Structure 1
Amino acid sequence: MEHVVLVPGFWHGTWCWSHVTLELARRRIAAVAVDLPGQGLRGTSPAAQRVRPFDAAEFATERSEVASVDATSAAEALIAQLEHIGSDRPHVVVAHSMGGVAATLAAEMAPSLISHLVYISALAPVSGQPAAALVAHPANAGELGTELLRADPFAIGASRIDTADAASRERIREALYADVPVEVADAATSMLNADAPVGMAAEAIAVTRERFGSIPRTYVLCTEDRMLMPALQREIVRDVDTRSVEPTRVVELHSSHSPFLSQPQRVADIIHAAARPLDSAMASDGPAVTSGP
């Protein structure tokens, strides 16, 4: 068994994988979640969020402390964590949402450290475009993520959300946690960082078939997602496959954007299949997959 390394997406931290790591432990899979710069315990929120009375104008204009983080620095941090964890075998890297940007670039920079990439409704720019261009793709029409932002991301250096305002919390639940039990969604919303480094989405990324493209991949396509619409997820898979030796294995889940909270057992099953040797996985009764979008 390879070690499994779990990478959160924007605003989230290692805590979001707690249900999945428990399920992986039941399957005797060693797994660890890591925070990238600007995430979880390495994240930050603006001072204006804590000031009372609350000043919405100050909240919308305060420069973020994560403004210096870009895709390269996030990928370098992930590589350093993979090296710190160590192993005599490469790791299965599981990335959610914007975490896919760092995982994609890390796979290009240090392919020997990664045995399998598992994307969970993740962004994976590979053709010289930034992740922000994928978010703005026509296939993502109807997404709810843009409505969450309470400031101009490129003015303050962060994608900033308000987790205290009641109306904002409801929008967050609809965008991120639509099929998550309400009490869990409410607790998760309270733990989100207000700021996520928009530099990760702004940096153009290109990968090669020889490095990134040599690593096997699974893409978990969330069919009820309103952050990254299913049509965009399929476009991402098609684009990734143009830079790859073998096609991506696609698993469709009837899920919103956060299946690690709504369907942790299914997510663990999918990761389990990726972590096992190929002959064992092919002989198993694990989750059904299809090759390509």
Structure 2
Amino acid sequence: MCGGVRSGRLFRRCPVPSGNRNTAKDAMKILACAFAYNEGDKIRRTLARHPRTRNYDLMVMDDGSTDGSLDQVPEGVLVLRNPRNCGIGAAMKRVFAYALEQNYDVLVIQAGNDKDDPLEIPRLLAPILENRADFVQGSRFLPGGGYGNTPAYRILATRFLHPWLFSLAARKRVTESTNGFRAFRTTILRDPRVNWQQPWLNRYELEPYLLYKAIRLGYRHMEVPVTKVYPPHREGYTKMKPFSGWWSILRPVVYLLLGIKK
């Protein structure tokens, strides 16, 4: 089922082996989750890039893969799984519910198709651990960031069109509004004014919605430079469909700006 937001049971519970977690900054409980749907070897490459010693638990949220993607997930990684493909927003809702149930303080979101560099996670976490931010957005368009294998039309949309419209709606200038690579305090999810459980947020809508809400509600928002390199086209560099996918990521900005949705 795709309608609910309960996390349900873990498909596989494999806690970080003893000695692999860095306890120097363990005052906050952190969960990093990679999202996968038919990623094949890309999810293995994504997980292999995470350091063996880390200050966070690592999870894969599998959104109904049918290609054996879960066979690529090594021990030591938590796994949640949807029985069928429900959409990235619906998958995120399950992880949000799990993070709240397990009392995680911080959640890190990354793609499971090897686009994001896990070695940049400390850069996302630092402002939160140092109590300088509540929501840290990774931006490939800041100095020090970067992007590769990105089609020209996507650069136009993600660097100019969407950030411009988003900045107008949120009343704060941002350089990045579509990148899912981010970290934030789970207190944002507990805020009753953040209605992340709404059914219309089951696809690409949830990511810009959450960013918008964090900014407009006065949470401390910060951008840090990250890299985002798309895999070769032959491997399937994106799951987003033209037009329907673009509208899915754009409509939260339109709805929230016009007051159609909350």
Classify the TM-score, shorter chain. Answer: 0.3 to 0.5
The structure in which a higher percent of residues are helix is: 1
Q: TM-score, normalised by structure 1?
A: 0.31
